[in-house]
Every structure is written in C-alpha cells, then in structure tokens.
Structure 1
C-alpha cells in the first residue's frame, strides 16, 4: 500500500497522478492520499485508490 501525505489547500489532479504513478512503479494494489489541510479529514481529506494489481492478488 502506498500512503501519500499532503498539506495542501485542495487535492489537485496532479496529486492523484503522482500516487497512481507511485502505485504503478511499486506494483502496489492500494493507495491512500491524505490531506491534512482541511477541517474534517474523514469526510474531505482522504481519497483511496485501487490499481489493476488488486485484481491479480489471488492468481
């Protein structure tokens, strides 16, 4: 699992592209992007990602 921690005003598409790239390079099945610069991290500050490697874990 890849965990990316940020403290930015807003999660932008470039941040999502970064974590997707890291997941592909590491062949990681899951990723989580967490932004600490928000009032409620649970509702607004996190985003989960799943790669194609997640579906190949059982084979």
Structure 2
C-alpha cells in the first residue's frame, strides 16, 4: 500500500469514526443494532460516501 492509499483510508476511517461517535452521543446506548445501522448509513450518504449495507462475504 502506498502513502496516498493509506492517507485516503485514514481519511475515510476518520469520517466513519466521527459519524459513529456523533450517533452514540446523540442517540445513546441501548437501541437495536438495526437502528444504529440505518442512522449510520444515512449519515455516511449525507457526507457524500457510497455505502453498501449488509454485504455478504465468503467465510473460508
């Protein structure tokens, strides 16, 4: 991985972590996972990211 890729990954990670933090502060703990997933999806899309939900991954 080159520095440019690493920098972009760090940028994306900071957006995701910030969204998660803001959601936790705003909604608090104790809701269903599906609620947090829906809110996170909406927040990330509003920030201009293309997001896939519940993508299937092979397990080997």
Compare the two structures and name the one with the higher helix fraction.
2
Structure number with the bigger relative contact order (C-alpha 8 A, sep ≥ 6) is 1
Q: Same fold (TM over 0.5)?
A: no
- The structure with the largest strand share of the pair is 1
TM-score calculated relative to the size of structure 1: 0.34
| Higher Cα Rg, which structure | 2
Give the TM-score normalised by structure 2: 0.34
